Amino acid sequence: MAQEVRRNGEIVPPAGEPVHLPGPSYLPVVVAFGLTLAICGVVINWVVFGVGLVVTVIGIARWIGQARDETADLPLEHAER
């Protein structure tokens, strides 16, 4: 059994549930790069704008999909709150 944790002489109850943190992802960098291309494309050329827009939309779609997959892996108690 785990050791008792004491604070100011009183026993502290154990944590209610573990903390869930999302895994590392490269998708925020992809979205930032796509936005940078799109903004620069407004000034430079419409083709650069189009490429930046496509990269941004694909990056956002994959980022949302990744977040949905991570949310689906959580225990069911989280869906009720």
The ranges assigned to domains in the chain are: 27-69
Per-residue pLDDT tens over the stretch 24-72:
999 999 999 999 999 999 999 999 999 999 999 999 999 999 999 888 8
Q: How far is CA 23 from CA 26, 33, 42, 69, in A?
A: 10, 20, 34, 11
pLDDT at residue 80 greater than cutoff 60: no
Three-state DSSP state, 25: coil
